[in-house]
């Protein structure tokens, strides 16, 4: 009976905490926000993810995050943009440049031993600009940190945390609080 109860408790606690890595990160506007009338001028979106110097990210990593951001935007507000990441940029294209400032995979063993040790971090500046003129319209800081411990912390990796990070980037592009 005790083993059965322990197993059920383990399953319930796993289900309850399983969303932490993929929950949305935080984002805040830096400077003046883009007005809703200004945002309404743009019917298309171009998202690029680029690492700052000193940050090691492969093209596969940046493309994966760009796709996750686009998927989140389509989920949150399916009618907001006619196209996302089309090959041609027009005068109605909003450019979102996601400049990765910090991409730390952390240490799984450290997280296993103690919550807060071996944390995973992803930090970026999201710069919204007019695609043809590159005129800067708004800037956001986006952060996602994962610091859970135990088995959950040890089995979570940076790709799991990217999900929540990309949700926050999508929210910042859509102008959500």
The per-residue pLDDT for 90 is 85
Rounded CA-CA distance 72/76 in Å is 6
pTM recorded for the entire structure? 0.85
pLDDT tens for each residue of 47-69: 999 999 999 999 999 999 999 99
Q: What is the mean pLDDT of residues 16-21?
A: 54
pLDDT tens for each residue of 136-147: 999 999 999 998
Cα separations (Å) of 3 from 15, 25, 40?
A: 18, 37, 58
Please give the share of the chain, as a percent, with pLDDT higher than 90. Answer: 62
pLDDT tens for each residue of 89-98: 888 999 999 9
Rounded CA-CA distance 171/177 in Å is 8
Q: Is the pLDDT of residue 11 over 90?
A: no
């Amino acid at each position: 009976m005790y083993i059965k109860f322990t197993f059920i408790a383990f399953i319930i606690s796993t289900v309850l905490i399983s969303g932490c890595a993929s929950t949305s990160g935080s984002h805040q506007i830096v400077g003046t926000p883009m007005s809703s009338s200004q945002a309404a001028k743009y019917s298309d979106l171009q998202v690029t993810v680029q690492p700052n110097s000193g940050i090691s990210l492969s093209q596969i990593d940046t493309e994966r995050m760009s796709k996750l951001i686009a998927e989140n935007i389509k989920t949150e507000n399916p009618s907001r943009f006619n196209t996302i990441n089309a090959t041609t940029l027009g005068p109605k294209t909003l450019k979102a440049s996601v400049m990765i400032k910090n991409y730390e995979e952390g240490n799984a063993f450290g997280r296993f031993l103690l919550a807060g040790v071996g944390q995973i971090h992803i930090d970026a500046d999201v710069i919204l600009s007019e695609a043809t003129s590159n005129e800067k319209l708004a800037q956001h800081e986006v952060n996602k940190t994962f610091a859970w411990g135990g088995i959950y912390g040890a089995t979570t990796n940076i790709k799991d945390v990217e999900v929540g990070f990309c949700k926050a980037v999508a929210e910042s592009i859509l102008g959500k609080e």
